[in-house]
A = this chain, B = another copy of it.
Amino acid sequence: MTSLSPYADMSPVAQAAYRARAAAADIAPLPRAAKDDALLAIADALEVRTKEIVEANAEDIAKARAAGTSESIIDRLTLTPERVRAIASDVRDVVALPDPVGEVVRGSTLPNGIDLRQVRVPLGVVGIIYEARPNVTVDAAALCLKSGNAVLLRGSSSAYHSNTALVRVLRDAVGGAGLPADAIQLVPGESRDSVRELMRARGLVDVLIPRGGASLIRTVVEESTVPVIETGTGNCHVYVDADADLDMAVEILINSKAQRPSVCNAAETLLVHADIAEAFLPRALDALAEAGVTVHGDEHVQTYGEKSHATVLPATPEDWETEYLSYDIAAAVVDSLDKAVEHIRLWTSGHTEAIVTTSQQAARRFTQLVDSTTVAVNASTRFTDGGQFGFGAEIGISTQKLHARGPMGLPELTSTKYIVTGDGHTR
């Protein structure tokens, strides 16, 4: 029997992917205890080797400062001993999560006596393409390891030294625990070419998860032949129905918009039923102004601007589709719940939409007609989050419909296979 290796003349990226595949095959059948031991070893190693990590991080920060990077990005890049301890603690939280692998999703005995079971299995090799924050390196590796997957990490070049140090610590710990270190790898090469190669590694890499800005995600979605899970863009809406409790509506609006405007589950557009506009909008605009939010309103909203302390800029069509990620919100008055739904369908990125209403019928119709990862009734858009949903850590929030939708926890990092058991059954 002859065997041909399809990897005879491998590039560094293909080599990494091929080694990841081999490691994936080794860790897929491991019992939970073996994976948890490796995760505990990772957490310990992060604490023991904090100095090495922080020193590597200092190189990235010096480089970023020299390049005139903004302080907010430098803050996201920075690793302090406290932050490394927090990352180690997050890894221990992953240890506590149940292992999805081996879960029997469906099972039955067929009429012919065959036993059929659908069982969760790891996806195999998961590629993560991400920006700035080096904590993602450890979070993603821990979640992939727990779910029996090998991971190829492609962080940004701005975090190169930090990621290199972190992955060295992770690999040493995994190897020390008796598992294949190749289950965790940094994708070699700092250029865009290595990203491109990763996106074309169909058959070697089972899924790519881009985490970062809209342009990164768009590039990966359009150019990848490897299946992609799209994450993150959130043009979220808060719709205040004619039958809303106004106090509740103001609280939910301000929380959705201003509690943390830079994240994907923050609200970006307010829609108000015309019947309640006069009672609600002056209060809402004042509250938004107090929270430091600039309103980009349609003509109807603008008329209330003059009666409140708020600045209301005229909204352009771009405002309806913008994910501000800042203290800005678009606002429009709609004639009915169905008009609100129509607006949302046209402009949403499909992340999270909330309705505030006391009407059971309105809540039911809104949740039926709005097709986003999450529809909230009388609750802030900010709840769309793996931690809030009780899934433990999350690898991202999928805004696509295939495979996973909404916050992705460990089960979303698995596939399934069928096991058919017979006694010599034939057709």
Contact flag A426-B378 (CB < 8 Å), given A367-B419, A406-B417, A419-B367 = no
B400 touches A2 (CB 8 A): no
Among B2, B221, B375, point to the contact of A420 (Cβ < 8 A): B375
Once the chains are docked, how many angstroms separate the CA of A382 from the CA of B426? 8
Once the chains are docked, how many angstroms separate the CA of A254 from the CA of B133? 57
Q: Max chain B CB contacts within 10 Å: which of A4, A229, A363?
A: A4
A415 touches B402 (CB 8 A): yes
A377 within 8 A of B: yes
B377 touches A421 (CB 8 A): yes
CB A401 to nearest CB in B, in angstroms, measures: 4
Among B207, B315, B377, B382, point to the contact of A419 (Cβ < 8 A): B377
A424 touches B25 (CB 8 A): no
A124 touches B419 (CB 8 A): no
A245 touches B424 (CB 8 A): yes
Contact flag A375-B298 (CB < 8 Å), given A123-B401, A227-B402, A390-B110 = no
Give the contacts of A276-302 with B (CB-CB under 8 A). 298-300
Once the chains are docked, how many angstroms separate the CA of A1 from the CA of B300? 9
B424 touches A379 (CB 8 A): yes
Considering the complex, give the chain B residue whose CB is closest to the CB of A354: B420
A248 within 8 A of B: yes
A420 touches B369 (CB 8 A): no
Once the chains are docked, how many angstroms separate the CA of A367 from the CA of B422? 13
CB-CB under 8 A from A425, the residues of chain B are: 378-380, 383
CB A150 to nearest CB in B, in angstroms, measures: 13
CB-CB under 8 A from A346, the residues of chain B are: 3
CB-CB under 8 A from A252, the residues of chain B are: 424, 426
A206 within 8 A of B: yes
B1 touches A343 (CB 8 A): yes
Considering the complex, give the chain B residue whose CB is closest to the CB of A389: B116
B317 touches A424 (CB 8 A): no
CB A144 to nearest CB in B, in angstroms, measures: 14
A375 touches B332 (CB 8 A): no
CB-CB under 8 A from A415, the residues of chain B are: 401-402, 405
CB-CB under 8 A from A368, the residues of chain B are: 29
Once the chains are docked, how many angstroms separate the CA of A202 from the CA of B400? 11
Once the chains are docked, how many angstroms separate the CA of A114 from the CA of B118? 31
Among B28, B378, B383, B424, point to the contact of A371 (Cβ < 8 A): B28
Interface string of A397-427 (1 = CB under 8 A from B): 0001111011000000001111111111111
B4 touches A317 (CB 8 A): yes
A376 within 8 A of B: yes
Interface string of A123-146 (1 = CB under 8 A from B): 110000000000000000000000
Give the contacts of A227-267 with B (CB-CB under 8 A). 227-229, 245, 247-248, 251-252, 255, 259
A427 touches B221 (CB 8 A): no
Considering the complex, give the chain B residue whose CB is closest to the CB of A350: B417
Contact flag A373-B259 (CB < 8 Å), given A424-B378, A426-B382 = no
4 nearest A-B pairs in the assembled complex, by CB-CB distance: A379-B422, A255-B426, A401-B415, A248-B424
Known: A2-B316, A124-B401, A379-B425. 8 other contacts (CB 8 A): A114-B383, A229-B402, A374-B419, A376-B419, A377-B420, A377-B421, A378-B425, A403-B403
Complex A-B: 5 CB contacts under 8 Å: A1-B320, A3-B346, A206-B402, A259-B427, A375-B419
